[in-house]
C-alpha cells in the first residue's frame, strides 16, 4: 500500500507529458524543476553529490513508464551520468551512479566506471582515458558505454580464481554479474554482455595444485592470483561498482527488476559536439555536459554500431589474436 501510494504521488508530479517525454530532444528548456518532488529537488544540480536536472527527469520518466507497463514494482531506480569525471583527482572515485528510492525519500551517489573503448593501432582510436569519457557507442566488441534506457535482469555468479587472505589460506573470489536489457540504441545490451558487476578481479594468475577444490580443472589445478579492486577504473563497456556498493545494488534488484538510465544518448552527444564545433557553449544552447570533463575531452563522439562494427571485424581479420600461452604453475 505504501509503495502504491508513493508511486501515485510520483505519477501525479510527473504528469502525462513527462510519460511521453522523448529522449531524442536533449534540450533542458522543456524540462521543469517543478516536476521533481521537493525532497528530491535538494539533490538537483551539477555539484558534487548532485544530479543534473535533465538526467533525473529522463530517469524518472523511464521508471514511471515501466511501472505503468507493469514491468517494474521495485520502489527504487538507478541513474548514471557518464559525462561526469570518474576520478575527481584527489585519489577517490567520483560519484556518478545514483540510487533513488522515492517511496522512502532516499538518494545515494556511488562511483561507477565507464567503458574503456579501444585503440585499433593504425586504424582508429576510440579509447577513453580513466577520468573522462570522450567516446561512446553501441558496437559489439567496442568496450564503449552506450547511454539510454535499460532494465536490470537476471544475475549470474562465476568463480574468478583464488587469492591469498593469509600466508596459509586462500579464498575463492566469486563475482556476480547483473545483466541489463536495453531498448532502442541499447537493444543489443544482452548480445554485448552489458551489465553491472563489482570492480574487482583476480590478476597475476598462476595455477596451483589443489585437487580437492570444487573449482579444480581436470588436472587438479586452480587459478591463484591477487585480488585487485579498480573502483574508479574503466571497464569493457559494463557498469562497474566498488565491491561493497555492488553487493548492495545487486541485492536490491534480485528477483525484483528496476530501471537504469545512462546519460548521454547519441542525440545528446551529437548535439553537444555540434555546439562545440560552432564555438557555442552547450549550456547556453540548452544542452548538458559536465564542465570539467568537457574541458578535458574537447568534444564527445558517438560511434554507431553500423559504422564501427565493420571496422572492428576487419581489424580482427587483419590482426588475428596470437596463440594463447599456458598459465604458469605457481612456484
Question: pLDDT digit string (tens) for 243-283?
Answer: 999 999 999 999 999 999 999 999 999 999 999 999 999 99
Assigned domain for 158 exists: no
- Spatial separation of the C-alpha atoms in residues 206 and 229, rounded to whole Å: 19
Higher pLDDT, 34 or 117: 117
Assigned domain for 237 exists: no
Assigned domain for 108 exists: yes
pLDDT at site 237: 75
- What integer is the mean pLDDT of 96-109? 96
Q: Considering its fold, how many domains does the chain have in total?
A: 1
Return the minimum-mean-pLDDT range out of 154-168, 182-196, 223-237, 251-265.
223-237
Q: How many CA atoms lie within 13 A of 297 on its CB side?
A: 28
- % pLDDT > 90, the chain: 79
3-state SS of 18-61 is HHCCCCCCCCCCCCCHHHCCHHHHCCECCCCCCECHHHHHHHHH
Assigned domain for 225 exists: no
Assigned domain for 125 exists: yes
Assigned domain for 11 exists: yes
- Spatial separation of the C-alpha atoms in residues 129 and 140, rounded to whole Å: 20
pLDDT at site 93: 52
Containing structural domain, residue 137: 2-153+177-193+244-318
Assigned domain for 255 exists: yes
For the segment 210-242, what is each residue's pLDDT rounded down to a tens digit?
A: 999 999 999 999 999 999 988 766 677 788 898
CA 199 to chain centre: 11
pLDDT at 30 over 80: no
Amino acid at each position: 500500500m505504501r509503495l502504491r501510494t508513493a508511486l501515485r504521488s510520483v505519477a501525479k508530479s510527473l504528469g502525462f507529458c513527462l510519460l511521453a517525454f522523448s529522449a531524442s530532444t536533449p534540450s533542458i528548456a522543456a524540462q521543469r524543476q517543478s516536476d521533481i518532488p521537493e525532497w528530491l529537488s535538494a539533490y538537483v544540480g551539477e555539484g558534487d553529490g548532485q544530479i543534473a536536472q535533465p538526467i533525473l527527469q529522463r530517469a524518472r520518466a523511464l521508471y514511471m513508464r515501466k511501472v505503468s507497463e507493469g514491468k517494474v514494482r521495485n520502489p527504487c531506480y538507478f541513474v548514471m551520468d557518464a559525462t561526469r569525471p570518474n576520478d575527481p583527482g584527489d585519489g577517490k572515485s567520483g560519484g556518478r551512479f545514483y540510487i533513488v528510492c522515492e517511496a522512502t525519500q532516499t538518494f545515494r551517489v556511488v562511483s561507477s566506471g565507464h567503458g574503456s573503448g579501444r585503440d585499433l593501432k593504425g586504424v582508429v582510436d576510440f579509447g577513453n582515458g580513466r577520468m573522462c569519457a570522450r567516446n561512446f557507442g553501441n558496437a559489439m566488441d567496442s568496450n564503449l558505454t552506450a547511454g539510454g534506457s535499460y532494465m536490470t535482469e537476471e544475475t549470474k555468479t562465476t568463480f574468478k580464481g583464488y587469492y591469498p587472505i593469509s600466508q596459509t589460506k586462500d579464498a575463492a573470489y566469486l563475482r556476480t554479474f547483473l545483466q541489463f536489457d536495453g531498448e532502442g540504441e541499447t537493444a543489443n545490451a544482452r548480445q554485448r554482455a552489458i551489465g553491472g558487476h563489482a570492480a574487482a578481479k583476480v590478476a597475476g594468475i598462476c595455477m596451483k595444485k589443489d585437487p580437492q577444490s570444487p573449482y579444480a580443472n581436470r588436472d587438479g589445478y586452480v587459478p591463484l592470483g591477487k585480488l585487485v579492486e579498480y573502483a574508479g577504473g574503466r571497464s569493457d563497456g559494463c557498469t562497474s561498482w566498488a565491491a561493497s556498493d555492488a553487493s548492495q545494488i545487486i541485492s536490491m534488484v534480485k528477483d525484483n527488476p528496476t530501471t537504469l538510465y545512462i546519460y548521454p544518448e547519441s542525440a545528446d552527444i551529437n548535439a553537444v559536439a555540434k555546439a562545440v564545433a560552432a564555438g557555442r557553449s552547450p549550456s547556453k544552447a540548452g544542452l548538458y555536459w559536465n564542465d570539467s570533463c568537457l574541458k578535458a575531452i574537447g568534444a564527445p563522439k558517438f560511434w554507431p554500431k553500423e559504422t564501427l562494427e565493420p571496422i572492428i571485424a576487419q581489424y580482427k581479420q587483419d590482426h588475428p589474436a596470437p596463440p594463447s600461452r599456458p598459465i604458469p604453475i605457481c612456484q
